[in-house]
Amino acid sequence: MDDVAEFEQQRTRMFAVAYRMLGEATEAEDVVQDAYLRWRSGHDPVQTPAAWLTTVVTNLCINRLTSARARRERYVGPWLPEPIATGNDPQDAVELKDSVSMGFLVLLEKLTPPERAVFVLREAFGYSHRDSAEVLGVDEGNARQLYHRALARVGEAHRRFAAEPIDGTRLVERFIAAAVDGDVEGLEAILHEDAAIWADGGGKAIAAREPIFGRSSAAQYLAGLAAGPRALTARLSVAEVNNAPAILVHESGELTGVLVPEIHDGAITTIRAVLNPDKLAHLRGQLG
């Protein structure tokens, strides 16, 4: 197998690692391209291309995360990961869907870049502490400490995102029907009493700059959106995004928003709305 074919065989896996590390699909694609340039620029014979490329991608992501944190501190309003479509490719079941929920990616924001690397490699890809140590260029004891520090930071919350998600398509469809009708009571019946809405407009789209908490406030906010002039031309549909049923918002045929509900015990606990047009570019490309 030639170098290009070998690289292409690993591309999906590399994107999966980079996306989990960065939470940004466009940045993940850039990292994969950087890895390709390093792969093509010449290297010693590689016995295990997957391991070599994972090491390159992980360390490129660690470098990018360091500068990304500064950018996110200056970000306008809440910062959310870029959404990606899942479920269309059979390889997604292994390479993308496990632990790729919005909630899981938001949780990873609590970690330092090295902690995030070790946590992702172990939780999402089953790496041993020894293998993670080799990727980061540290000793095994250090890798173990990084992992346990990551666990302490995220607590047990990460377990619920790693679990098999509940099929919430019908609940999301009920949500759409109630939202379109401006049915406050219908929305309240679907929302958890402590429901929260996080909207990411990035200063480039109209969005609440502070999270909205509580069933009543969330329902009133959503009903207000449904009564706005833009709602008259908006088309809502359901698609699998980040391994969950999500709501796509199209206006004049263009994707302008993605709402990803988080569902627990038959109720919507969190809605993460990505409205920043820059963060929808990758998903637009996936949807065609």
Nearest CA-CA partner of 238 in 169, 185, 286, 180: 169
What was the pLDDT predicted at 165? 55
Q: What is the DSSP letter of 23?
A: S
Q: How many CB atoms lie within 10 A of CB 130?
A: 11
Domain check: are 148 and 61 in the same one?
yes
Q: How many CB atoms lie within 10 A of CB 132?
A: 25
HSE-up (13 A, CA, CB side) for residue 213: 2
With both helix axes pointing from N to C terminus, report the angle between 3-22 and 25-40 in degrees, rounded to the nearest 10.
Answer: 150
pLDDT at 164 over 80: no
pLDDT at 161 over 70: no
Which amino acid does the sequence have at 165? P
Full domain range(s) for residue 176: 169-287
Contact (CB, 8 A) for 107 and 157: yes
pLDDT at 76 over 90: yes
Contact (CB, 8 A) for 88 and 215: no
Domain check: are 273 and 240 in the same one?
yes
Domain check: are 113 and 135 in the same one?
yes
Domain check: are 140 and 229 in the same one?
no
Domain check: are 150 and 173 in the same one?
no
Domain check: are 12 and 135 in the same one?
yes
224-233 confidence digits (pLDDT tens): 988 888 888 8
24-33, 39-48, 226-235: least confidently modelled range: 39-48
Single residue among 162, 180, 205 that ends a domain in this structure: 162
233-253 confidence digits (pLDDT tens): 899 999 999 989 999 999 989
Domain check: are 151 and 120 in the same one?
yes
Q: Which residue has the tokens 């990803």?
A: 260
Give the distance, in angstroms, between the CA of residue 97 and the centroid of all CA atoms in the same chain: 10
CATH code of the domain containing 255? 3.10.450.50
CATH code of the domain containing 138? 1.20.140.160
Q: What tokens does 127 get? A: 């790496």
pLDDT at 258 over 70: yes
Strand runs (DSSP E) across the chain, as ranges? 191-200, 212-213, 234-241, 244-251, 254-264, 267-274
Q: What percent of the chain has pLDDT over 90?
A: 70
Largest CA distance in the chain: 65
Domain check: are 13 and 145 in the same one?
yes
* Across 30-37, average pLDDT: 95
181-234 confidence digits (pLDDT tens): 999 999 999 999 999 999 999 999 999 999 999 999 999 999 998 888 888 889
Q: Which residue has the tokens 């109630």?
A: 178
Domain check: are 157 and 279 in the same one?
no
pLDDT at 77 over 60: yes
Instruction: Let me know how long the chain is.
Output: 288
* Across 143-168, average pLDDT: 78
pLDDT at 95 over 50: no
244-251 and 191-200 as β-strands: parallel, antiparallel, unpaired? unpaired
Number of H helices, E strands in the chain: 13, 6
Domain check: are 234 and 275 in the same one?
yes
Q: CA-CA distance, 58 to 161, in Å (whole number)?
A: 22
What was the pLDDT predicted at 140? 97
Domain check: are 16 and 150 in the same one?
yes
Domain check: are 176 and 256 in the same one?
yes
Q: CA-CA distance, 101 to 5, in Å (whole number)?
A: 30
Single residue among 162, 180, 215 that ends a domain in this structure: 162
